[in-house]
Copies of this chain bind each other. A is one copy, B any other.
Amino acid sequence: MRLLRRSAPTKDKKRVVILGGGFAGLYTARYLERALGRRGDFEVVLVNKENYFVFQPMLAEVVSGAVGVTDAVSPIRRLLPRTELHVREVESVDLKARTVTTAPGFQPHPHVLRYDHLVLALGNVTDFRGLRGLPEHALPFKNLGDALRLRNHVIHALEEAAIEEDYELRRRLLTFVVAGGGFSGVEVVAELNDFVREAARSYRQLNESDIRVVLLHAGARILPEVTERLGLFAQKVLRRRKVEIHLNTRLRAATGTEAILQDGRRIPTRTLVSTVPSSPHPIVESLDLPRNEAGRLLANSFLEVEGAEGLWALGDNALVPLAGGRGSSPPTAQHAIRQARAAAHNIVASIRGGERRAFDFKDLGKMGALGHRSAVAEVLGVPVSGLPAWLLWRAVYLMKLPGWGRRLRVAASWALDVLLPAELAQLKLDDSVKLAREHFEPGEEVFVQGDLGDRVYIITKGRAEVLRQEGGRTLRLAELGPGEYFGEMAVLGDTTRNATVRSVEALDVVALPKREFMLVTSNLPDARQRFGEVIRRRRRATALAFGQRA
């Protein structure tokens, strides 16, 4: 057995480890590769949980199918031929020992990477903590997986709506809610709106007028990133395309069937996308380093974390000052790329000796697509909107895509998109067994007597009541709390629910498909026996309540 110890840096060579393969991390590696030349006096390792770089501005187009499934991403190996790529999650960072540990892959052993310089470019993550029901029911929109999941979810909703007989339930399936009116939310809602309205034409049972697409925004106008004029223009364009825009509106909670607003209004929906809020990557949170109150690492103008030699921070997980007291660098791709250039220069200066360079940059402009041949942009302070802005958007982003192959593919997709109707295939990639977590607001029904029962619920938080109707009477059979389960009759082969379960207070449950519930519980010590007892007791209670024989 030959062991190659690749994880220790080659003798004499300095090793730069970069965490994160977004704009900041990827471009740092690119500029380092460029500086490396033939000298080979250092090596670059990039750790990213995906093997591709996501071209964020194009992600929304994956939802509508305007670009192909893999068009918005580029394989990192092709972009960084001289960098060692580790496709793994970062498990921990030890600042004292100067090591990074990555989570195990196929093999259960972790990798420990020694570093001389560490670049923290982990970006931020969508963080629904503290928002009731959002972790369970809101769809985030950050990476390619999110975009594909959203796309599939929307197609699934259309398919279900097409065969749903109940009008209210159909309307609910046809209501799509996006929370967050920044660039990301606006691009998603625009593409989503175009997609569902076009796709609906292929469903002869669906009426386009039954479709609702809703944008929720906390501020007084959408797109706070651009001038008021452009923001209002975007609002007008979206409204003309029948997007309902609710301003000064925040999401308070969510269930599987409703979006609940701060003011108590409820929007019945099966599809809730939230692009807010975001918080720093958990690894950044775990480090004992100076941060601002939003959790961003405090870097100096050389991109080094103040007081920590050989530790660099840039991109969305860092707060980088701009020259002349102009505040800090906004979290945009343009800034991340310029920060990367400065960071790479300064890292090389640290290794080889030489002068460091302070980061400074002024925005060239901002752009946001509004779908269907419209966009808004500000270029060097000049506002552009409508078709010219859309053409500009496509031209600029096509050229910004890394690599000619990618540009060719995207251009081909765009050309076909003009010619052909939207792709409708629902990609179900994973058919593996799932534990679903669900949230219910007080008074909501988990299931109704007579429904088809295919899963078992375990209460993790809150309380629920079990109600049974028989001969016109409704009886409250039990109240259940954390640690108790219900719906287990389905396991015994009863196919329809023999009672209704309704939450008494905000309720969190874990739902297990029938087969998996059996698999887990029947093999746990005592669970099988206990389980049988509970069922017998409940059957007895039901029988007694209705005056039948036990």
Contact = CB atoms under 8 A, between A and B. Distances in A.
Interface of A: 1-7, 50-52, 68-70, 73-75, 77-78, 81-82, 84-88, 103-111, 144-145, 148-149, 152, 155-157, 159-160, 162-169, 173, 202-205, 270, 405, 408-409, 412, 416, 419-421, 423-437, 447-448, 451-454, 458-460, 482-485, 497, 510, 512, 516, 519-521, 523-527, 530, 534
A425 B105 CA distance: 17
A4 B425 contact: no
Given A160-B105, A204-B81, A510-B520, A144 B425 contact: yes
A48 to B, nearest CB: 10
Given A69-B69, A525-B530, A160 B106 contact: yes
A1 B435 contact: no
A202 B516 contact: no
B420 A409 contact: yes
A478 B219 CA distance: 62
Nearest to A47: B163
A9 to B, nearest CB: 14
B162 A85 contact: yes
B52 A106 contact: no
Contacts of A74: 425
Contact of A521 (B7, B173, B427, B524): B524
A524 B523 contact: no
Contact of A163 (B86, B432, B482): B86
Contacts of A88: 163
Contacts of A166: 1, 3
A412 B423 contact: no
Contacts of A430: 145, 149, 429-430, 432
A7 B2 CA distance: 66
B202 A78 contact: yes
Contacts of A152: 429
A106 B73 contact: no
Contacts of A412: 412, 416
Nearest to A406: B420
A449 to B, nearest CB: 11
Contact of A458 (B432, B452, B454, B524): B524
Given A1-B167, A523-B483, A109 B52 contact: no
Contacts of A447: 108
A28 B64 CA distance: 31
Contacts of A4: 165, 167
A369 to B, nearest CB: 22
Nearest to A482: B523
A262 to B, nearest CB: 26
A177 to B, nearest CB: 15
A491 to B, nearest CB: 14
Nearest to A455: B108
